[in-house]
Amino acid sequence: MSDAAEGVERFVDEVEIEVSSGKGGDGCVSFRREKYVPRGGPDGGDGGKGGDVVFVIRPNLKTLVHLRRRSVYRAGNGEPGRGKQQHGKNGEELVIEVPPGTVVRDAATGEVLKDLSSLSSEEKWVFLRGGRGGRGNVHFKSPTNQAPRHAEPGRPGETRRIILELRLIADIGLVGFPNAGKSTLLSVVTNAHPRIASYPFTTRIPHLGVMYIHETELILADIPGIIEGASRGAGLGLRFLKHIARTAGLAFLIDLADEMWEGAFDILMNELRTYGQGLAEKPSIIVGTKIDLPGTEERLRALRSMHPGIPVLGISAVQRKGLRELGEAFLDLKRRAAEEGGL
């Protein structure tokens, strides 16, 4: 298997699983049996509570691949009560660890049950409660029934089939055709090390990197190259377009050395509009790349005149030209998104 294929396999951003909380333990029917106490009263203990299904955020996780190992996950059942009013042990809770940005959806309806992006690493979300343990016969003693011979059964747990969907969280999403220079830019201005080569679809998985501007931290996301028809499933775009949904703003990278440079922005915007979810309405800038190559300066000027309503910058990531101005533009893009109510 090639490195690129392995990368796709390792990055799992959606899984469907069945989860169940535990059944409560049954209450116990028991009577005291001690020397010189031939007719002891009821002493049956309560059953233990079934285990809950809980979700926790683990910042070190970047993918859902660890949940592909099996499709069914169950919390522990509560143990039955015992004599001498001994309480059954509670069932072990099922803890499902997920990366930041995970959304929980109902598998049948697609309804969003919980967006876990608001959860801190110290919190946990209880999705399914375990069944209550049944009461032992000690609870049913009365003046008219001194020796109750019944106890409550434990309550059953709950079962749901859900889809876990990972959506990356970033300040700026780098959007462009394959080979537009997104990975090169990310590797130059951040601590990320994406795979880089001079052929299409080098980036097979999204990459995140952190850029610092005036002590402000910006998280950049390199989204795999979009091609015309991506919103309908062509290429890799459809699989990763959803990751742009959580970015505050977008930077459209246009390869000025490519013969298709003139119509690239319109094609990219059309794909975002077709996909929907408000992607085309996000605050954005246009970044002309590879301005170190012959003829690109003239194309950059033309690009600015074609899109007067959007900030247009020119950079060369290889020669590190225009990167300071780009950083300022990213910072301004984040501010604009905050003012407009973006993430």
> Structural domain boundaries of the chain?
11-166, 172-339
Residue with tokens 């020796």: 147
Residue with tokens 């309550």: 155
Q: What is the pLDDT of residue 240?
A: 62
Nearest CA to 217 out of 209, 228, 227, 225 is that of: 209
Note whether 11-166 and 172-339 share their fold: no
pLDDT digits (tens, 9 = 90+) for 246-279: 788 999 999 999 888 999 999 888 888 887 777 8
- Does an H or E element contain 172, and which? strand 172-176
The CATH number of the domain covering residues in 172-339: 3.40.50.300
Q: What is the pLDDT of residue 93?
A: 97
Instruction: Give the residue ranges of the annotated binding site for Mg(2+).
Output: 183, 203
Instruction: Give the residue ranges of the annotated binding site for GTP.
Output: 176-183, 201-205, 222-225, 289-292, 316-318
Contact in structure between 241 and 232 (CB atoms under 8 Å): no
Here the tokens at position 17 are: 């699983």
Q: What is the pLDDT of residue 225?
A: 58
Q: What is the pLDDT of residue 169?
A: 72
How far apart, in whole angstroms, are the C-alpha atoms of residue 259 and residue 174?
Answer: 20
- The low-confidence residues of the chain, meaning pLDDT below 50, are 1-9, 193-204, 228-237, 342-343
Q: What is the pLDDT of residue 196?
A: 35
Q: What is the pLDDT of residue 44?
A: 93
The CATH number of the domain covering residues in 11-166: 2.70.210.12
pLDDT digits (tens, 9 = 90+) for 162-189: 999 887 777 888 888 877 777 788 888 8
Q: What is the pLDDT of residue 5?
A: 34
This prediction has a pTM of: 0.67
Burial class (CB in 10 A: 0-12, 13-18, 19+), 144: exposed
Query: Which residues does 165 contact at the CB level (< 8 Å), separation at least 6?
Result: 13, 14, 102, 103, 105, 242
